[in-house]
Amino acid sequence: MSLFSDKNSSTTVAFGNKDTYGNSEVASPVFGSSEAATPSSVEVNKLIRNTYMLLSMTLLFTAITAGVSMLLRLPHPGIILTLVGYFGLLFLTNTLRNSAWGIVSIFALTGFMGLTLGPIIGAYLTMFSNGAQLVMMAFGSTATIFLGLSAYALTTRKDFSFMGAFLMTGILVAFLAGLGAVIFQIPGLMLAVSAMFVLLMSGLILYQTSDMVHGRETNYIMATVTLYVSIYNLFTSLLQIFGVLGGEE
């Protein structure tokens, strides 16, 4: 989702903190390092398997709720309600991350995001004669980027923890710039912010995957949230870019 919206109400969201699931370590910040001992390869593999399984289910649930939203022609809730709902459910998920209720919370979060995504996709399908092509291009590009970057981080096991401070600063700057683009209605800035989010979310995928591989992230619920938000932002940002550059009204 975006913390800013263009004429199609496209939205990009930020993400919340990471912590441990079933571990006694102290909660670590989003770009911080864990104080717990390095998990074994068996634990790491289990974390990765659980994360991608939960991620797949949440993405499917988002697709379903987005489809329902389009079928019922629900209006976009607007940026304020979207942000309140997103950050509220994100806080709830973070609070419940060490219990089974965390699973329920993450599905509530991703389902809500699907309801906000449906009107955005619907707007592109309505406003552009090649809207379906734009949506498929954004979907295909998002899948290719995510799978490619994830495979690279998993196979090379390269440590991308050095990107933490850069990503945190970059996302904050992009967020504020996006708000400015909305308030002052600057299309060029909106496009630039979308391009920034494509790069930042790509970096975040590498960062989060590296954290799982190297044992800095041990909570599969929060790992799923970070990857989910990266994919959501990547898709909406690419969709906005393709709409501006290749949309045919």
Cα–Cα distance, 52 to 54 (Å, whole number): 5
| pLDDT, tens digit, 9 for 90 and up, residues 20-54 | 333 333 333 344 444 445 678 899 999 999 999 99
The confidence band for 12, taking pLDDT boundaries of 50, 70 and 90, is: low
10 located within any domain? no
Query: pTM score, two decimals?
Result: 0.85
75 located within any domain? yes
The confidence band for 13, taking pLDDT boundaries of 50, 70 and 90, is: low
Range of the domain at 136: 41-246
26 located within any domain? no
Domain count, the chain: 1
22 located within any domain? no
| pLDDT, tens digit, 9 for 90 and up, residues 154-209 | 999 999 999 999 999 999 999 899 888 888 888 899 999 999 999 999 999 999 99
16 located within any domain? no
Exposure string (b/e) for 199-235, b if CB count within 10 Å is 16 or more?
Answer: ebbbbbbbbbbbbbbbbbbbbbbbbbbbbbbbbbbbb
119 located within any domain? yes
58 located within any domain? yes
Q: Which amino acid is at 173?
A: V
Candidate from 3-12, 72-81, 119-128, 129-138 with smallest mean pLDDT: 3-12
4 located within any domain? no
